[in-house]
Chains A and B, each alone.
Chain A
């Protein structure tokens, strides 16, 4: 236990003593971890967006005009609910439509052009389907069920969402692959630069290592402080990266409100909600890189 504490103390003292050199290595590691974090956040956004869109209206049917009796609409709604692939069918009346209009992220002047005294918004039924593949069959079933022709077939939105989701899924895959590639690219550059900086610090302390070996320090005791330093690189760069990410999130969150809210995503909440996950990834990568690079650098000094 005493030896273990001594090794940690030695590692910490060495880290602090060479702080200018270690700052360089730490900043490089921070850059890499930031790139990796950005890739992860991007993946999360794309995943949540795809999920959000998928969970939104799969099909929406609108009624031709306000003269259609509510009973006929209710009857159609009940029939649609009985379709096997339909998980949910919700009638939106005119007041409901106006309420939705009021929540849209558009300018106030436009919003106020409609009101309860002037509400041209049609009644609609929002239909959720268990799988995008069943959209077409449900649409056909609705057309067959609409014997009175009360549905405005040219107004319906269906299939377009499926297209959007399909496109989004392929974009998601592309973005994720691009993110992995960029992370790896920057990661490799950072690893080589960190390797060089750590090699320089070890070379600068080659006398110290030599003395440790002359007085009979075991290889484990010589290696130990450098492993501690590697861990400290990882921890410090994780802290810096996390602070940076949180700051940037706070700065840009107001500007992302409009764009992401349409997709049902709160950017700030997404980042903060996943912050421990991000920290775990950063810590894992940072510590592993720091330790591995330190061990590689010290290896040649350990040959008997």
Chain B
């Protein structure tokens, strides 16, 4: 938690330190819906501290992979390990606690329209039974981190696309997750806001959070210059340590 909340350094961003410990391991995973196969025989290892861009056209299986990681779906075959635990062994009552360790950000923000920015972020802590005092402290700090301190009393419909996504990121970070998964976070944003979000994710990664970014955004991928995993027809066709967006 502390490493996420530290103020950013004034010097240019450096690549985050990548641990040798695999945080996520996907072993021969396939997922089918009826006769239709969404992903086939995926093998993938992601280490702690990595910034991974998952790229590919619509329908190649990026979102399916993300759903497997957040335990929204189970693989038809194969195994998914996160922090050494196979997700299939999670009991139903353990899933909520697992999800608190993973932050997720979506293209459509998924903010509660009847709650303010503050309340949306606080909600993620309220559902876990955190006390009001702790919530007050954490939410204030996290909103400052994403630069939404002055907008905390606004409702989602009063915010720009970029601000809404920053609010969603704040909510995803409030539990200090080890992993932040962003599924097309810039899909609905203009270029300026897009870069703001990418830059924010970059900063978060510097603090040690593993980032998995599923995106179409060629420019962002090329500028980040981090690991790029290309998917096609449900398979991984390339995995470059420091790649560019090439389909």
Contacts and interface: CB of A to CB of B under 8 A. Distances in A.
Chains A and B bind each other: yes
Interface of A: 2-3, 6, 13, 17, 207-208, 210-219, 221, 303-304
Interface of A is mostly: helix
Contacts of B124: 215-216
B112 A208 contact: yes
B110 A216 contact: no
A207 B110 contact: yes
Given A2-B132, A216-B99, A216-B127, A211 B112 contact: yes
Contacts of A6: 126
Contact of A214 (B92, B97, B110, B132): B110
Contacts of B126: 3, 6
Contacts, number: 53
B127 A212 contact: yes
Interface string B94-116: 01111110001000001110100
Contacts of A3: 126, 129
Interface string B58-100: 0000000000001100000000000000000010110111111
A216 B175 contact: yes
**A-B residue pairs, 10 tightest by C-beta:** A216-B100, A217-B127, A215-B124, A216-B99, A3-B129, A304-B95, A218-B96, A304-B92, A216-B96, A221-B127
Interface residues of B, number: 26
Given A218-B93, A304-B92, A304-B95, A2 B129 contact: yes
A210 B97 contact: no
B174 to A, nearest CB: 9
Contacts of B96: 213, 216-219
A210 B124 CA distance: 12
Given A218-B96, A219-B93, A304-B95, 14 more contacts: A2-B132, A215-B99, A215-B124, A215-B127, A216-B96, A216-B97, A216-B124, A217-B96, A217-B127, A217-B128, A219-B92, A219-B96, A304-B90, A304-B92
B155 interface: no
B171 interface: yes
7 contacts: A2-B131, A3-B126, A212-B127, A213-B96, A214-B99, A214-B104, A217-B128
A71 to B, nearest CB: 89
Contact of B110 (A211, A218, A219, A303): A211
B195 interface: no
Contact of A210 (B71, B100, B110, B114): B110
A219 B96 CA distance: 8
Contacts of A212: 127
Interface in B102-152: 104, 110-112, 114, 123-124, 126-129, 131-132
